[in-house]
Structure 1
């Protein structure tokens, strides 16, 4: 009898464990910001900013100073760089913006690489049947080329850039997150980013946000208002499961 009870208890424990492990993953789609979230693009973006600043006779800025300027698009990043080195006007910004884009187009992926653990996290999501998307304020053409260079473009269900939907429809608007969900076939989504643009866009679309402490933060990560914070991509799957 004791052996039978022990056997039945073991079966019960195994059954409960199997039920837990077989529970469906809580999200159908996980979207990612690009710069400062999925990829560390800071070296190449800083080089482009400093190339443009040099054309105006300005001193270069360190990468650490440029990181918080990233996230709102190239023009916004350059504008902040100019303000940090003596100020600007629209004519100068227009001229240097073209110079920055030209330099960046020729030097997109020299230093750029996925953040540690990013590829493994994408593998884990795809093993769970989750669709992966990118929503970025980077110009779509640049984003696609960078993602192709690092071998991630073919993994995506969709890729939405800052110019994909037209003026006024990039993050922090809800539009690109809603488009991500539609283009990925619908379902429950979460969004991972490193800026207030990312969190605001996710929340405007009714989607939970996860903030990356390792990103190009413009402010303390705790102030972004995300539902969860991760210190490394190893934390992503557990964070998503808790949000579910």
Structure 2
């Protein structure tokens, strides 16, 4: 239970709240093949996600053995944003148990926030399309602040905008980026083990690991008992 209605659960988006890999794969490979590069297998793309679309494109160019510059990446990035925005939720949907969990936490008095490295111009429409916006007190994208995760500022910003305090707040994510961001922000972190990461989250030292959103409430209660 949140204390004084001020603690915030801060959620990553891709690979944590929503299963978006199919749409990310489709968009990236349209962009790459239309530019004359090789498509990227889905198993490899899963290891590239987490730092936003621009880094995803850079990693795809690395995969193709291309020495890229900002000038190389810029038109591909714009193409990615345009195509993805037009096809943002063809296959993307919340992971099983997400809606039930979010509704439960709100009833218990938690503030809820999203903190993702996906650009705002993609994050906000995606959450709207999936009817998820209504659950959150704040939404922070990868370009909301001057820096993105793993810096602490987006986490602190999401908490502040939600009307919460850092003390008592918890990060829920799927990657080393989220875990590092939580550490930098000074809050505990729960990792899901079904997300998008090149390294199993069990090797990254989160405070708790869950395999389904049904397990999140118990993990949070365990963390709160350990802190108390």
TM above 0.5: yes
Q: Runs in 1 of length 4+ with deviation above 3 angstroms? A: 24-27
Q: Which residue of 2 aligns with 1:212?
A: 192
Q: Which residue of 2 aligns with 1:61?
A: 40
Give the Cα–Cα distance (whole angstroms) in 2 for the partners of residues 82 and 137 of structure 1: 20
Q: Which residue of 2 aligns with 1:19?
A: none
Alignment length (residue pairs): 219
Q: Which residue of 1 aligns with 2:83?
A: 103
Higher helix share goes to which structure? 1
CA contact (8 A) 1:55 1:96 kept: no
- Determine whether 1:43 maps to 2:22: yes
For structure 2, which runs of at least 5 residues remain unmatched after alignment? Answer: none
1:165-184 superposed matches below 5 A: 165-166=145-146, 169-184=147-162
Give the Cα–Cα distance (whole angstroms) in 2 for the partners of residues 93 and 177 of structure 1: 27
Give the Cα–Cα distance (whole angstroms) in 1 for the partners of residues 31 and 217 of structure 2: 40
Give the Cα–Cα distance (whole angstroms) in 2 for the partners of residues 39 and 154 of structure 1: 15
Larger radius of gyration: 1
CA contact (8 A) 1:31 1:135 kept: yes
For structure 1, which runs of at least 5 residues remain unmatched after alignment? Answer: 1-23
CA contact (8 A) 1:58 1:85 kept: yes
Deviations 1:153-188 (A, max 9, x none): 01110000011112xx21000001111121122232
CA contact (8 A) 1:118 1:233 kept: yes
Q: CA RMSD in A?
A: 1.4
Q: Which residue of 2 aligns with 1:10?
A: none
Give the Cα–Cα distance (whole angstroms) in 1 for the partners of residues 79 and 163 of structure 2: 38
- Determine whether 1:157 maps to 2:137: yes
Residue from 183, 208, 214 that aligns with 1:234:
214
Q: Which residue of 2 aligns with 1:70?
A: 49
Name the stretch that deviates more: 89-98 or 24-33. 24-33
Q: Tell me the TM-score normalized by structure 2.
A: 0.92
Deviations 1:87-135 (A, max 9, x none): 2311322221121111112111111100111111112211211111000
